[in-house]
Homo-oligomer: A and B are copies of this chain.
Amino acid sequence: MAMTIRILVTGGTFDKEYNELTGELFFKNTHLPDLLKLGRCELDLKIETLMMVDSLYMADSDREIILESCIKADEDEIVITHGTDTIVETAKYLAKSIKNKTVVLTGAMIPFKFGSSDGLFNLGCALAFTQVLHPGIYIAMNGKYFTWDNARKNRKTGKFEEIDFLA
C-alpha cells in the first residue's frame, strides 16, 4: 500500500464551472485537490493536468497524449478523470497499447462546483479500484467498475451499463 497513484486530469463535467457573467459553463483549474482534501485522502498521489476539454470535443490527438502519459508514467496505478460522453472510446484507445498497468477512468454527471456532485463518490471508487484490480483498463461509474470492452453509457438514463447485460 505504499504505492504511488498517478491521476491524469482531462476535464469533463467534473471540473466545469459556472461563469456568472455570461451564464455559461467553462473550465478553469481542476478541483481534484479540493475533492481529495474533502475526502481526507492520504494516498501518495501525483496529479497531472493533461488538458481541460469537454469529452465530446476530444480528438484522437488528445487520446494520444493520454496514452503517452500513461506509458511514460513511473506508476503502475493510474486514475484518469474524463468526460463521460466519450470515456468508453478513450478506454478502448488505451487498451490497445497498455497491458501492464491498472488504469481506471472515471467522470461525473454533475460539476463538483454545483454542490451535489457525484464526483467525490466516483473518485473514491476509482482510487480504490485502481489499488486492487489486476492490470487492465477499467471505467468506474455508479459505484461499479467496467472492463473497457464491456461498458456503455445509457444516454437516456445517464447510467453506465454492461454491454453483455443487453445481449
Contacts and interface: CB of A to CB of B under 8 A. Distances in A.
Interface of A: 1, 13, 16, 18, 20-21, 23, 25, 35-36, 38-43, 54, 109-111, 113-118, 120-129, 131-133, 140-145, 155-156, 158-160, 162
Most interface-central of A124, A129, A159 (chain B CB within 10 A) = A124
A130 to B, nearest CB: 9
A115 B118 contact: no
Most interface-central of A125, A132, A144 (chain B CB within 10 A) = A125
B110 A20 contact: yes
A109 B144 contact: no
A111 B114 CA distance: 9
